[in-house]
């Protein structure tokens, strides 16, 4: 009688060798994380080093450094809150190391939270901040990969920039002359508005302008723009005259008690200190309401107005790019738009149908 071979119930050697491989293949792939390649440091310490890098090596403006810092602080707070909600992750929350705290799933959860409370423009800016931080971590050996590179930015609808008509712009610029303020304040405000409109300066550039950057005899100003790039901005005769009148009266705004006065700043407050961006924004809003009935007027609208009126007057985009200090011409094309009146003028002079006599 032929004996039947009993099938062994013990796993074969081949099965034992294959089992671990099979189990590995069945596991879902781990999400990309900021895996540390060096000593794992807390994210808070890495964030501080990154902000120093922005300020000292990239020459970013204080406003930019502050904005990046706020974005990263919000991310770190989200990571800590998410870890605290999971008891098993509390040790990682205390560490908050790049390798343990951040991965693509966490970043997407953070963006989902932002999408419920922030505008698409704000979300896009925060994504850009985190991407830049991730690139810095990878470049300096704190991470092998940057999961933020896989984040998709929301589509941002670019609205046409707001600008004033020539009449409204003149009315806003002349408003300080009739305002019930100290004579020196009126001269200061008139000079500031003339400069914003004539030179198209950013609010941070106007705030940071120093006396030695003005060349009133040549009707120019050397402006320190984004990335600490210097450019020469031409000034109109009205702006030059307004600046000269203000500088002559500038000492009147020294501190009333200590008589201290910032020796470098072009624009100072009634206490002799450099006029900050927020003060300039409030000033423009006030005169926008008084001069043009625009309670929402902001300094950047005067920058748009400068560019639009230059374009309407025949200046080409390259010249406007130099005045505004844009590194890319495409940026100038976004910031400047052609008025309807200018379009009609060009159309009437260029299109053959527009030149034909109207049929009665």
Quick check: is 255 catalytic?
no
Work out the mean pLDDT of the chain and round it to a whole number.
81
User: 21 lies in a domain?
Assistant: no
Q: What is the CATH number of the domain that holds 261?
A: 1.10.443.10
Distance between CA atoms of 127 and 71, rounded to whole angstroms? 9
DSSP secondary structure letter of residue 285: H
Same domain flag for 233 and 278: yes
Q: Which residue among 120, 150, 180 closes a domain?
A: 150
Same domain flag for 297 and 203: yes
Query: What is the side-by-side order of every strand in the sheet holding 220-224?
Result: 214-215, 220-224, 230-234
Classify burial at 27, counting beta carbons within 10 Å of its beta carbon; exposed 0-12, middle 13-18, buried 19 or more. exposed
Catalytic residue among 53, 125, 274, 300: 300
Same domain flag for 210 and 323: yes
Distance between CA atoms of 7 and 97, rounded to whole angstroms? 52
User: 352 lies in a domain?
Assistant: no
Quick check: is 226 catalytic?
yes
| Angle (nearest 5°) at CA 280 between 307 and 303 | 5
Catalytic residue among 190, 303, 304, 309: 303
Same domain flag for 187 and 132: no
Quick check: is 335 catalytic?
yes
- The answer to whether the CB of 123 falls within 8 A of the CB of 113 is no
Q: What is the CATH number of the domain that holds 88?
A: 1.10.150.130
Same domain flag for 228 and 343: yes
Neighbouring C-alpha atoms within 13 Å toward the C-beta of 276: 6
Cβ count near 224 (within 10 Å): 18
Catalytic residue among 202, 294, 304, 309: 202
- The answer to whether the CB of 250 falls within 8 A of the CB of 256 is no
Structurally, the chain folds into a number of domains equal to 2
Quick check: is 250 catalytic?
no
Model pLDDT, residue 326: 85
User: Residue 80: which pLDDT band, with cuts at 50, 70 and 90?
Assistant: confident
Q: Which residue among 122, 150, 178 closes a domain?
A: 150
User: 81 lies in a domain?
Assistant: yes
Distance between CA atoms of 75 and 134, rounded to whole angstroms? 12
Model pLDDT, residue 360: 44
Quick check: is 202 catalytic?
yes
User: 342 lies in a domain?
Assistant: yes
Catalytic residue among 68, 197, 287, 335: 335
Model pLDDT, residue 225: 86
- The answer to whether the CB of 332 falls within 8 A of the CB of 320 is yes
221: which strand partners? Answer: 214, 233
User: Residue 330: which pLDDT band, with cuts at 50, 70 and 90?
Assistant: confident
- pLDDT tens figures, 5-62: 444 444 444 444 444 444 444 455 545 555 444 446 788 899 999 999 999 988 888 8
User: 36 lies in a domain?
Assistant: no
Cβ count near 319 (within 10 Å): 14
| Mean pLDDT, residues 96-119 taken together | 78
User: Residue 285: which pLDDT band, with cuts at 50, 70 and 90?
Assistant: very high
Same domain flag for 253 and 145: no
Same domain flag for 104 and 213: no
User: 220 lies in a domain?
Assistant: yes
Same domain flag for 188 and 218: yes
Same domain flag for 145 and 236: no
Quick check: is 326 catalytic?
yes
**DSSP assignment string, 71-111:** HHHHHHHHHHHHHHTSGGGHHHHHH-BHHHH-BHHHHHHHH
Q: Which domain holds residue 76?
A: 43-150
User: What share of the chain in percent tops pLDDT 90?
Assistant: 43
User: 118 lies in a domain?
Assistant: yes
Same domain flag for 192 and 268: yes
- The answer to whether the CB of 339 falls within 8 A of the CB of 350 is no
Catalytic residue among 92, 219, 226, 273: 226
- The backbone torsions φ and ψ at residue 325, rounded to the nearest 5 degrees and listed phi first, read 80, 30
Same domain flag for 268 and 234: yes
> In this structure, what token pair is assigned to residue 91?
């040790």
Higher pLDDT, 8 or 283: 283
Same domain flag for 297 and 335: yes
Q: Which residue among 115, 150, 185 closes a domain?
A: 150
User: 30 lies in a domain?
Assistant: no
| Mean pLDDT, residues 94-105 taken together | 61
Single pTM value for the model: 0.67
Radius of gyration of the chain (CA): 30
Distance between CA atoms of 320 and 306, rounded to whole angstroms? 9
Distance between CA atoms of 224 and 247, rounded to whole angstroms? 20
């Amino acid at each position: 009688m032929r004996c039947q071979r009993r099938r062994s119930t013990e796993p074969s050697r081949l099965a034992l060798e294959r089992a671990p491989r099979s189990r590995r293949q069945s596991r879902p792939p781990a999400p990309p994380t900021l895996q540390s390649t060096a000593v794992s440091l807390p994210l808070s310490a890495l964030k501080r080093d990154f902000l120093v890098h922005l300020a000292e090596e990239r020459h970013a403006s204080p406003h930019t450094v502050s904005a990046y810092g706020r974005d990263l602080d919000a991310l770190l707070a989200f990571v800590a809150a998410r870890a605290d909600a999971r008891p098993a992750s509390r040790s990682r929350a205390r560490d908050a190391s790049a390798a343990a705290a951040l991965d693509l799933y966490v970043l997407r959860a953070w963006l989902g939270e932002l999408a419920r409370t922030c505008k698409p423009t704000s979300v896009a800016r925060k994504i850009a901040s985190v991407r830049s931080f991730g690139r810095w971590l990878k470049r300096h050996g704190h991470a092998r990969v940057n999961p933020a590179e896989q984040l998709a930015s929301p589509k941002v609808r670019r609205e046409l920039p707001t600008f004033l008509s020539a009449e409204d712009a003149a009315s806003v610029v002349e408003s300080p002359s009739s305002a019930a303020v100290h004579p020196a304040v009126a001269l200061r405000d008139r000079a500031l508005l003339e400069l914003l409109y004539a030179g198209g300066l950013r609010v941070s550039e106007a705030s940071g302008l120093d006396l030695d950057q003005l060349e009133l005899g040549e009707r120019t100003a050397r402006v320190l723009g984004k990335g600490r790039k210097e450019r020469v901005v031409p000034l109109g005769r009205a702006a030059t005259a307004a600046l000269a009148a203000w500088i002559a009266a500038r000492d009147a705004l020294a501190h009333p008690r200590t008589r201290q006065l910032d020796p470098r700043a072009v624009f100072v407050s009634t206490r002799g200190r450099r006029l900050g961006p927020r003060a300039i924004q409030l000033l423009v809003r006030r005169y926008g309401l008084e001069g043009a009935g625009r309670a929402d007027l902001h300094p950047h609208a005067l920058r748009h107005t400068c560019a639009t009126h230059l374009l309407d007057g025949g200046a080409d985009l390259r010249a406007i790019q130099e005045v505004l200090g844009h590194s890319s011409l495409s940026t100038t094309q976004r910031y400047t738009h052609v008025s309807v009146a200018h379009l009609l003028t060009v159309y009437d002079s260029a299109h053959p149908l527009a030149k034909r006599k109207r049929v009665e």
